[in-house]
Each structure stands twice: as C-alpha cells, then as structure tokens.
Amino acid sequence: MAPLRSARLKTPPPPAPDFRDRILTGHCVAQMEALPAKSVDVVFADPPYNLQLAGDLHRPDQSRVDAVDDAWDQFESFQAYDAFTRAWLLAARRVLKPNGTIWVIGSYHNIFRVGAILQDIGYWILNDIVWRKSNPMPNFRGRRFQNAHETLIWASRDQDAKGYTFNYDSLKAANDDVQMRSDWLFPICTGGERLKDDGGQKLHPTQKPEALLARLLLASTKPGDVVLDPFFGTGTTGAVARRLGRHFVGIERDAAYVEAAEKRIAAVEPLAGESLEIVAGKRAEPRIPFATLLEAGLIEPGTQLTDAGRRHVAHVRADGTVSVAGEAASIHRVGARVQGLSACNGWTFWHVEAEGELKPIDELRRLVRERMALRHVGG
Amino acid sequence: MAPLRSARLKTPPPPAPDFRDRILTGHCVAQMEALPAKSVDVVFADPPYNLQLAGDLHRPDQSRVDAVDDAWDQFESFQAYDAFTRAWLLAARRVLKPNGTIWVIGSYHNIFRVGAILQDIGYWILNDIVWRKSNPMPNFRGRRFQNAHETLIWASRDQDAKGYTFNYDSLKAANDDVQMRSDWLFPICTGGERLKDDGGQKLHPTQKPEALLARLLLASTKPGDVVLDPFFGTGTTGAVARRLGRHFVGIERDAAYVEAAEKRIAAVEPLAGESLEIVAGKRAEPRIPFATLLEAGLIEPGTQLTDAGRRHVAHVRADGTVSVAGEAASIHRVGARVQGLSACNGWTFWHVEAEGELKPIDELRRLVRERMALRHVGG
DNA sequence: TGAGAAATTGAATCGCATA
DNA sequence: TTATGCGATTCAATTTCTC
C-alpha cells in the first residue's frame, strides 16, 4: 500500500524537522497548533488548578503557608477557566494519534470541570486514578477532611478507539500478580528530587513526583513513544520519559522553568534497553517476601492472621511461614488450602487485627515498599 | 425576643405535618419541591449514572426527555444527564438549610458532570472523598486499571457558609488521633448486609455499604439532624440514620424498593443516646475571660507571667489585662506582640510559677471550668 | 563526629461569638 | 449588618541545629 501512495507524489515530502525531545517556549495552545496532527502517543497535562484562596493561612505554630498564588493559576471565573480548558484540550486532541491517550491531573478545584469538558469534546474516559499522598499537608484549621489525594483522568481520543496502549501484563506482574488498581500511593515530591533555586527555595510550586510519571508512562506507552506535556514546568515528564526510553515534547511559557528543565533532563541517564524490559516487567516494584515484614518488625511471630470474614485463623512463624492445624507453608499456599482452592493471594487474603480493625497484610507490605523507595532516593 | 415575634402573628402557625422518617414515593425533583425550603441538614445522593437510563430522564420542567431510540449520540446523552442533574441539585439546594451540606457519590461516568454543575449553581466544594474498595470487581478485559474506587463530593450550600457541621474532633479520635483523610477504605456491600430478593438475587444493583454512610453521617451531622436522600433505593441512608439517631427523608420511585426499605428500616435498632455522643473539642468548651481567674482568686494582680522558655515576662493587672514594658492588652495580644506574631493563644503561651515549676495558665482555666461544671451539677 | 532535638515545609478554595 | 477580638488549629518527612 505504501508504494502506491508514494507514487502519487511527484516529489518525496521534505523530512519534517524532528520536534521530539525538545522544549517549546510559548503558550500551550499556540505551540500545540504548530505541531503536526496525529503525531504524539500520549499527552500528560498538569494544568493550573484554579485554586481560589481567600487570605493567608497559618499553621498552628503561626508560620505562614507558602500558597500557590502564582498569576498563572488565577482565572476570573469558572467560565474563563472552562474556556481555557476547552481550548488546550481541543488542541491536544488534534495532536494525538487516533489511538493516543491523555492524562490530566487535578484536584477538586478543577478536575470536575476538566472531566466534563473532556467528555463534551469527544474524549472517552478510561479510568480515573487517585494519587494517594503518603505525606499530604494537614488541614490546619480542622474544618475539613485532610485533602490527601489528587485525581488523574485517563482518556482515549475517541470512544471507539480500542487500540490504545495499556501494558496490562507488565503492570500486573509488577503488582505481585494482581491487577493494578485505580488508587496509587506515592509520597509528594520533596527532598533531593525537588528542584531548588540558588537560595534553596523550591523552584516550582507544584513539582510532581517522578514515581507518579513513571507509573503512568509505563502503563500507557511503549519504548520509543512520544509524550507531549503542554504544561512542562521544570520537566518531570521529560526527565522520566528520557529515563524510560520514551520521547518527550514539552511546552512551557516560563523561561526560567525551561532552562531548569533542560539542565535536569540532560543529566538523566537513559536506562539501557534490557533494563527497560525489566522495568516494564516484573521488577517495576520489588517483590517483598513475607519474612521481610517480620524483619522490619511490622509483624511479630505468633501473630494471628485471619481472613476478612474471620472464618480462618493462621499463626505467623518466625521463619516467615504461617501455619494452620500444625501445617505450615507460605501465606499463599495456606490461604489456598483453607479455602479449598488451588491458588490464593495471601497478601490480600490474610489480615491482622490492629486497633480493633482487620487490615490486610498487604498494607504492611506497602509500608515496606515505601520505606525502600525512600531509602533508594535518599541513597 | 421570642415573645415579640410571636406577638406579631395573629394566630400560631398550624403545626406542619412532620415529613421526617418517611419515604416519599415519586420523582425526586417533584417530591423535593413539595418539601419546605431550608428544612434539612444534609442531603446524601447516589444518583443514577448509567447513560442507558437516559430515556427515563426528565427536563427541569418535569417534561419527559424525548428519548427516541438507541440512536442517541453522546452529546445528547450528556446534555440530558446534565439537565437532570441540574434539576435535582437545584431542588436539593432549596431544601437545604443555609448551613446544610450535600454529599453526592459517583464514578468517573458521571461524577465530573455532577461536580461541575454543583459549582455552577452555587454549591461550594469542601472535599472530594475517595471510597477505596477493599474488594472491588476485577477488570475482566484487561484493557484498563481495575476500577477500585468511587468518588464522593462534599459541598456546602454556599461559598460563605462557615457554620456547617463537621465533627472534626470525633473523627480524629476515631482515627488514632490523626485527622481523617480524604481517602476511605471500605469493602463493598456483600454478604448478609446485601438485600436479596426471593430468588436470592441482589435486590438493588448498587446498594452502598452502611459503613460508608455511617462515616459520612457521623462526620457531617449531629444527632437529631435530618438527612434527605432523593435516590433512596433500598434505604441504606435511612437504616444508618435511624441507627445513629438521625432523622431521614427518603424519595424513591420504585415501589418494590420502597417496600424493601420500609421493612429494612423498621428492623433497625437505634443506638442508645449515650453511644451517640460526639467527642467535643475545645471549641465546645465555655469561654472563660482571663479576668475570671482573678475574680476566682486563682491569680493575683501583679503576678509575673512568662513563656515556657522564660524569654518574655508580663505582669497581670487588676482589670484582667497584662502588660509588658508599660503597654497593656489581652493575654493574646501581648503574647503575639512579644513574639512579633499576628496571633497567639495566650492561654497556652503564658505560664505562672508554682512550686518552682512553670505551668500554663490554661491549667487555671481548666480549674475554673471544673468548678463551673460542679456548681452546675450541684444546682 | 554522632545522636537527638528543633525547625522547616508541602496545589489549601481552612472561625466564630459578641457587641 | 458589620466590626472587633478571642483563641483554636498539623502530619510526615526532611533538614538544620545543638550538645
């Protein structure tokens, strides 16, 4: 087929200048309109949230909270915010390949408007994803629930687009052989990962954690894919894309952010092809032996494990096995046996009693993983 | 004051028929419009979101949307859903007390539209809450993330309504003394809690767990409050409200659901009053002027007050003010000034010397409160 | 140099009663 | 209705300070 189509052209088309792995300085809508249509595989967007903050907020120790009061987050009305949102979402849709998908992150201030407009202009929502923050800012006045999460929407370009990329098997393998859920737990971006200016102040008010970007890129792109970020900021998307062997296109208005992003991305060491395979596969999250929970002191030998319905009881042994009626085996095997099944995910089946509530031992494993991730960043 | 107002009325108003603890059969908008304005404390709504139900949707004026056939396109469906949503949210807002709040639960299919319309018609979002399902249904096709959560929006009737009920201290105490987060973990409604028909099939497709309703009612209502549920279904809201000593108003079209709900609620044993008591925080304590400590003889004019680090010294004056360097003001103002802050809690900042030890004057305030309580009990 | 204490900080739509 | 002033309110993690 391809030769036939080429034959129609009198001269071959000039090679398009490669727009990949660059940061375009300017307004996101104008810059996206200058890009070729149907040219990117995934869009990740972290748009302004349109926070509407009244006055200053102080912590109980009277220190002032450094709020996001930047001019780019100020809109006159919901209507103005909607018009802006519609414009950039339309521009992004033109640039997306037919099987492309889009990610947008936001909070309750803006995400409902974003989601409704996505639906209005033809995107088809595949999932909403909750980023649960392990260390969110508290609610200082005690007037609401602690705002401990943000929301991401993942959508395909069209309702009938079935060929979008979703690396189901590698996600499942990375998640101890259970499907990846729609709620993800990550710490906010702090410490060494957080970019600072010369004065040691945060360079960008809303820098996102690389782990979040890595999860969503590993889920929805293949190596070599192109990821467009129209609100590039200090380039988290570009840094993670480069590390994971994906191409990026960044759009950013603020020259200081562009400069910081370029420096940051240049310092990223791309993973070798083979480790990319591994990252995409089973080792995206480390496998945690049950014994690690004992080693970490999160569970004691002799502890009773029960299922959610308290129908079965097992005892934890010091060697990392569990026993029922004198017979000991792994949490998975014992879980399967008491249920008369051939297999069982012991991590979600078994629970421990903590403060009157049963909680799955999977929560303890998550704690271990968080600690490991933090240690890794720190080292 | 009350006699004056009564005097204006020629005759006492006829006793309004009590609409509480009843299930009204009919369309939610029409039934809400028949309720008195500003009469309920909280609305909980679990609206339909399946766009297949579009044929049952009604316009704000109650006319039936002309759903021709399955040839509806997406745009028309969203429009119809939006009109329906706007209609019932407006009707609910009229019925809410000025300090009332509303809860709406939904999934990514509808929650973004609900949230945007809430904002459009004047509600003010307080939190979005994620219900993390501990046992969600798996994704069978392997083409998306496991949809493991639903979203609730909690909103006040108006932006400037500050007097809504939020039992912060109660929630914090129940949560191991850390403030309650915006992500809640509950199992889906199964087992004995799930209502079944004669054939053993689930009676309602989306019955919500009572634990979820209990959490949100305990957070946002007081005993005796009225909770309106315009999509009552099989009456989870009513059952939990009755158990927790709250009143309910249910609206439901389906007679079979109404019958099941009535039976269910009648079987609920309300908790005794004492187990319903809400943990009261310091805000609920009676206010004690500093001068009361002098009147009670617990502190003498001329006494030296210092902060915990003995960096600052103030002198108590007979009128209940304190002075530093000749300038007198309240314990709070002076505490703020010596620290160079805009605010300060003088009760915890200032200390008195007693038996060689510094103790905060807040302890003296506690003594006064105890005496008041005793006197109250004695009299 | 090390251990422990103290300070800092993060997308935040963050009072309420009385006069 | 508006202005005033009391006095209540934070979690996790990192970084800096102190002994």
Helix and strand element counts for chain B (H, E): 12, 14
Instruction: List all residues 6 or more positions away from B148 whose beta carbon is below 8 Å from its beta carbon.
Output: A181, A182, A183, B132, B133, B136
Query: Which residue's entry shows tokens 């006159």?
Result: A76
Cβ of residue A199 lies below 7 Å from strand D: no
* Listed range (A83-97, A239-253, A353-367, B58-72) with the worst mean pLDDT: B58-72
Which residues of chain A does B72 touch, with a Cβ-Cβ cutoff of 8 Å?
A: none
Measured in angstroms, the CA of A34 and the nearest CA of chain B are apart by: 28
Å from the B218 CA to the C18 C1': 30
Name the token pair of A106.
Answer: 């936001």
Q: What is the pLDDT of residue B1?
A: 31
Contact assignment for A136 to B181 by CB distance below 8 Å: yes
Contact assignment for B191 to A62 by CB distance below 8 Å: no
Q: What is the pLDDT of residue A13?
A: 65
Cα A172 to Cα A274: distance, rounded to the nearest angstrom: 19
Q: Which chain B residue's Cα is nearest to A362?
A: B134
Average per-residue pLDDT for chain A: 88
Q: Which nucleotide is nearest to B343 (CA to C1')?
A: D7
pLDDT, tens digit (0-9, with 9 covering 90-100), for A88-108: 999 999 999 999 999 999 999
CA dist A356 to A199, A274, A308, Å? 48, 47, 13
| Predicted confidence band of residue A5 (pLDDT cuts 50, 70, 90) | very low
| Predicted confidence band of residue A15 (pLDDT cuts 50, 70, 90) | low
Strand C neighbours among B 293-352, CB < 7 A: none
Strand C neighbours among A 190-209, CB < 7 A: 190, 194, 201-202, 205-207
Q: What is the pLDDT of residue B369?
A: 94
| Predicted confidence band of residue A274 (pLDDT cuts 50, 70, 90) | low
Looking at the predicted structure, is the pLDDT value of residue A294 above 80?
no
For residues B261 and B23, the answer to whether their CB atoms sit within 8 Å is yes
Counted across chains A and B, CB pairs separated by less than 8 A come out at: 150
Tell me what the mean pLDDT of segment B255-277 comes to.
Answer: 92
CA dihedral of B263, B264, B267, B270, whole degrees rounded to 10: -130
Å from the A60 CA to the C6 C1': 16
Question: Backbone dihedral region of A295: left (phi > 0), alpha (psi from -120 to 50 degrees) or beta?
Answer: alpha
Report H helices in B72-198: 74-95, 111-120, 168-174
Looking at the predicted structure, is the pLDDT value of residue A8 above 60?
no
Q: How many C-beta neighbours within 10 Å does residue A286 have?
A: 14
Q: Give which of A148, A328, A90, A226 is closest to B182, Cα–Cα.
A: A148
Q: What is the pLDDT of residue B19?
A: 94
Cβ of residue B163 lies below 7 Å from strand C: yes
A379 vs B324, residue with greater confidence = B324
Which residues of chain A does B188 touch, with a Cβ-Cβ cutoff of 8 Å?
A: none
Cβ of residue A137 lies below 7 Å from strand C: yes
CA dist A61 to B287, B305, B339, B341, B365, Å? 22, 20, 12, 10, 21
Q: What is the pLDDT of residue B11?
A: 62
Strand C neighbours among A 80-99, CB < 7 A: none
Looking at the predicted structure, is the pLDDT value of residue B168 above 90?
yes
Measured in angstroms, the CA of A211 and the nearest CA of chain B are apart by: 17
Strand D neighbours among A 357-376, CB < 7 A: 370, 374
Looking at the predicted structure, is the pLDDT value of residue B44 above 50?
yes
Percent of chain B with pLDDT over 70: 88
Which residues of chain B does A132 touch, with a Cβ-Cβ cutoff of 8 Å?
A: 130, 132, 183
Order of strands across the sheet that contains A304-306: A327-329, A322-324, A313-316, A304-306, A351-354, A357-360
Name the token pair of B162.
Answer: 């500050």
Measured in angstroms, the CA of A280 and the nearest CA of chain B are apart by: 16
Cα B307 to Cα B349: distance, rounded to the nearest angstrom: 6
Q: What is the pLDDT of residue A346?
A: 87
Å from the B350 CA to the D16 C1': 28
Cα A304 to Cα A315: distance, rounded to the nearest angstrom: 5
For residues A292 and A331, the answer to whether their CB atoms sit within 8 Å is no
Q: What is the pLDDT of residue A299?
A: 83
Q: What is the pTM of this model?
A: 0.83
Strand C neighbours among A 38-77, CB < 7 A: 46-57, 59, 61, 63, 65-68, 73
Cα A326 to Cα A118: distance, rounded to the nearest angstrom: 57
For residues A214 and A184, the answer to whether their CB atoms sit within 8 Å is no
Query: Helix, strand, coil proportions of chain B in percent (round to 5)?
Result: 35, 20, 45
Q: Which chain A residue's Cα is nearest to B179?
A: A146
Å from the A322 CA to the C17 C1': 59
Q: How many C-beta neighbours within 10 Å does residue A152 have?
A: 22
Å from the B157 CA to the D2 C1': 22
| Predicted confidence band of residue B231 (pLDDT cuts 50, 70, 90) | very high
* Listed range (A223-237, A293-307, B13-27, B171-185) with the worst mean pLDDT: A293-307
Measured in angstroms, the CA of A6 and the nearest CA of chain B are apart by: 35
A325 vs B126, residue with greater confidence = B126
pLDDT, tens digit (0-9, with 9 covering 90-100), for B89-113: 999 999 999 999 999 999 999 999 9
Name the token pair of B124.
Answer: 């003010």
pLDDT, tens digit (0-9, with 9 covering 90-100), for A108-143: 999 999 999 999 999 999 999 999 999 999 999 999
Q: What is the pLDDT of residue A102?
A: 99
* Helix pair A210-220, A236-243: axis angle to 10 deg: 50
Contact assignment for A180 to B146 by CB distance below 8 Å: yes
CA dist B303 to A132, A145, B68, B352, Å? 51, 42, 84, 8
Cβ of residue B333 lies below 7 Å from strand D: yes
Tell me what the mean pLDDT of segment B221-245 comes to.
Answer: 97
- At residue A117, φ and ψ (nearest 5 deg) are -70, -40
Q: What is the pLDDT of residue A289?
A: 66
Q: What is the pLDDT of residue A272?
A: 79
pLDDT, tens digit (0-9, with 9 covering 90-100), for A135-186: 999 999 999 999 999 999 999 999 999 999 999 888 887 787 789 999 999 9
A9 vs B139, residue with greater confidence = B139
For residues A131 and A105, the answer to whether their CB atoms sit within 8 Å is yes
Q: What is the pLDDT of residue B54?
A: 44
Q: What is the pLDDT of residue B75?
A: 62
Cβ of residue A143 lies below 7 Å from strand C: yes
Å from the A197 CA to the D15 C1': 16
Most confident region among B76-80, B123-127, B133-137 by mean pLDDT:
B123-127
Q: Which chain A residue's Cα is nearest to B160?
A: A54
Cα A262 to Cα A238: distance, rounded to the nearest angstrom: 9
